[in-house]
Amino acid sequence: MRQGNKRPSFFTPGEVGLHNTIKDLWVSYLGKVYDLTPLCEEYSGDVLLKPIISNAGKDISHWFDEKIADIRTHIDKKTGIRKYYTPLGRFVHVPPPLPNSDWANDFGRPWWKDNKYEVGVLSIKTRFVRIVNTLTSQEQSIEVCSEENMEEILQRYLKFNAHAKSYTWKYDGVPLDMKRTLEENGIVDQDEQLYELSMDCEQWTPGIHLYFNDDLTEA
């Protein structure tokens, strides 16, 4: 969740998809990423969790009316009353179709309106970049979020090289501004043009070269 001036965390759809069990359940909707694990723990064993569990790790934006950021509704043919539209089955915090004495509505805000579950932002567009270590000649291709700046991309790369901060990052021989994104550093996303030309995007992945600074104090 974003607090103050802190930048939000960006996630790829693939990263969201890794959290796909009842004990580790994320979903995305309307451009945000949510960790619903606490909700599953709170309602453990409740049949109303089933639609949520079956969509673990997925984007569920189609459940929502984007204009009002609420669950889609429809007019019930039997009652003529507007109700939440849940074709996969009623889920947690959705009221029953008819008045029910067992319905407890003391939970406060429904989970889809409660930002305490928010963990970050779903990337609008992901990109692949090749990171080449000129000292070791090792090369890694990693998927990043187009919204991320180079410092955030560096954090992704640390699992491959714990000393990544001790290198100068360059593209076409020019040092990169680590507080700017790939696009802002002149590393243009050409996927659309390559697709139109029927060219393999993987063969034209931009390469970032790392030059060792001979200083491990940054590690």
The pTM (predicted TM-score) of the whole model is 0.87
Burial class (CB in 10 A: 0-12, 13-18, 19+), 164: buried
- Which fold, 10-122? Flavocytochrome B2; Chain A, domain 1 (3.10.120)
Identical topology for domains 10-122 and 126-218: no
Residue 134: which of 25, 216, 208, 187 has the closest Cα? Answer: 208
Which pLDDT band, with edges at 50, 70 and 90, does 2 fall under? very low
Rounded to an integer, what distance in angstroms lies between the CA atom of residue 41 and that of residue 93? 14
Architecture of domain 126-218: Roll (3.10)
Segment 61-79 shows an average pLDDT of 93
* 6-30: pLDDT as tens digits: 789 999 999 999 999 999 999 999 9
Name the residue ranges covered by the structural domains of the chain: 10-122, 126-218
Which pLDDT band, with edges at 50, 70 and 90, does 102 fall under? confident
Segment 112-121 shows an average pLDDT of 97
Mean pLDDT of the chain: 90
Q: Which amino acid is at 173?
A: G
- Position 191 scores a pLDDT of 62
Q: Torsion angle, CA of 75/90/107/71, rounded to 10 degrees? A: -50
